[in-house]
Amino acid sequence: MWVWLATRYSSFSNIPKRIIEHFKDPFEAFNATEEEYKTITRSYETLLDKDIRMSMDIVEYIKKNNIGIITYDMPQFPQRLKKLENCPIVLYYIGNLYDFDNSPQIGVVGTRNYTAQGERVTKRISYDLARSGFTIVSGLAKGIDSFSHKAALYNRSATIAVLGCGIDVIYPKENRELTMRIRENGLVLTEFHPGTKPLAYNFPARNRIISSLSDGVVVTECSIKSGTMITAEHALEHNIPVYMIDDLCSDSVGYLRERGAVSVKTSDDITRVHKSKFPGLKFLGELPKETVLKPKESVITVSSFKEFNGGANVVKAEKPETVNNKQAFSEFNDTEKEIINMLLNGPLFADEIVNDKLPMKTVLYTLTSLEFKNAVISLPGGKYAINKQ
């Protein structure tokens, strides 16, 4: 009956929560009378529709497709979300559930129309936050969101992707492999019923979930007229700290600062704020040196680099002012080199790279690693290619 009640109203409605708080149980709500509904809301007519066929179809569908469901009354349901007046009463998920309320979670959000500097900064600060012990929360959108998820996966850390569509809908299409990686190693979460399309008005609803799940929200790159601002404003309205990178939010800095956002330069600035609540968080200086991402960023180009594999075409990594070719290429492990050499023949989908020695899980993780090292890029449509820039 949870799904029946959730399908009665839109995602921004506060009525399902009010109904549950009144009746305590969705079965009691289902069996209530019109007069009882009238005492709770004027918009009660939809509750008179007792046809449960659609909700039963949804329940059957999620069972067949190994989709998880968390309802408002379950202990796994995030207590953080219950503070929302329009809290959803049902969440669908694929992946690994986390202790939402007792682990440090940080939202990282920003524009789809990112700059090269925005990409670098987002990867850097997301990676460092993940290493420090935060779970990265974002929206799986193109651009900044994707970079933050990839940084967490690169570090083999937890990440939560909150969708503005059904759990079974891949959006954007080019994030198909990234979605698979997060399902395997993190958590994909949504309040929208299976099959729901990524319509524009779904995303403000999604953004409130991102900010509400987070102990703080980092805005790495944005403009004042963007969905990112909705996430930031929602966080500030609910006393959730917002952090911003001044250089990348130039037209929004004054607006956000007036409302309480704080400028930061490194992940340690954020860790410092939350360490008293979560003592297990680590500053970068406390991490073993080998776990800290090197700031060096090699540019990858295609060439005949014979000394590394007996004359076959390979990838040459070069940054003449700081790194010689041999040193740069040697930083790739054998699996990374194998995939790079496969991509020399042209762009490939992840499943076209899979073979007996390279299972899908290995391919997906290695592609994330190569993207993070700027050796490979993901193309519109989902294929991967050598980064020739």
161, 169, 185, 364 from 175: Cα distances, Å: 12, 11, 15, 12
DSSP 134: P
Same domain, 150 and 253: yes
- At residue 264, what is the residue type? V
Same domain, 250 and 324: no
The whole-model pTM stands at: 0.84
Same domain, 363 and 251: no
Same domain, 211 and 286: yes
The pLDDT of residue 227 is: 83
| SS3 label, residue 350 | helix
The pLDDT of residue 307 is: 33
Residue 119 lies in a domain: yes
What is the C-alpha to C-alpha distance for residues 362 and 154, in angstroms, rounded to an integer?
12
What helix, strand, coil percent values describe the chain, rounded to 5?
40, 15, 45
The pLDDT of residue 318 is: 37
Give the domain-ending residue among 48, 71, 94.
71
The pLDDT of residue 330 is: 63
Residue 29 lies in a domain: yes
- At residue 200, what is the residue type? A
H-only helix segments in the chain: 2-6, 15-23, 26-30, 34-38, 53-64, 116-132, 144-154, 176-185, 202-213, 227-237, 253-258, 267-274, 325-329, 334-343, 350-353, 360-372
Half-sphere exposure of 271 (CA within 13 A, CB side): 23
Indicate the burial class of 303 (C-beta count within 10 angstroms; 0-12, 13-18, 19 or more): middle
Same domain, 117 and 230: yes
The pLDDT of residue 304 is: 30
Q: Are 243 and 216 in contact (CB under 8 A)?
A: yes
Residue 335 lies in a domain: yes
**Residue 372's CATH number:** 1.10.10
Joined tokens for residue 289 = 């040196």
In this structure, the number of other CB atoms found within 10 A of the CB of residue 32 comes to: 18
Same domain, 235 and 344: no
CA dihedral defined by 123, 126, 130, 131, rounded to 10 degrees?
60
The total domain count for the chain is: 3
Domain housing 9: 2-71
Give the domain-ending residue among 14, 49, 71.
71
Cα 126 off chain centre by = 11
Dihedral sign, CA of 319, 152, 222, 371? Answer: positive
- For the chain, report the end-to-end CA distance as a whole number of angstroms: 54
Same domain, 117 and 50: no
Name the residue with tokens 């070719």. Answer: 325
Residue 98 lies in a domain: no
Using alpha carbons only, give the angle 64, 360, 289 rounded to the nearest 5 degrees: 120
Residue 82 lies in a domain: no
Same domain, 236 and 325: no
The pLDDT of residue 57 is: 97
- At residue 126, what is the residue type? S
Residue 13 lies in a domain: yes
Same domain, 304 and 269: no
28, 130, 218 from 160: Cα distances, Å: 33, 12, 15
Same domain, 109 and 133: yes
Same domain, 250 and 311: no
The pLDDT of residue 312 is: 39
Same domain, 238 and 331: no
Residue 81 lies in a domain: no
Question: Is the omega angle on the peptide bond into residue 279 within 30 degrees of 0, that is, cis?
Answer: no
The pLDDT of residue 121 is: 94
Phi, psi of 225, rounded to the nearest 5 degrees: -105, 75
Q: Are 140 and 146 in contact (CB under 8 A)?
A: yes
Give the domain-ending residue among 291, 323, 351.
291
Residue 123 lies in a domain: yes
The pLDDT of residue 365 is: 85
What is the C-alpha to C-alpha distance for residues 1 and 93, in angstroms, rounded to an integer?
18
What is the C-alpha to C-alpha distance for residues 191 and 205, in angstroms, rounded to an integer?
9
DSSP for 191-249 reads SSPTT----TTHHHHHHHHHHHH-SEEEEEE--SSSHHHHHHHHHHHTT--EEE-GGG-
| SS3 label, residue 146 | helix
Indicate the burial class of 206 (C-beta count within 10 angstroms; 0-12, 13-18, 19 or more): buried
Which residues of the chain carry a pLDDT beneath 50? 290-327
- At residue 260, what is the residue type? G
The pLDDT of residue 328 is: 54
| SS3 label, residue 95 | strand
**Residue 211's CATH number:** 3.40.50.450
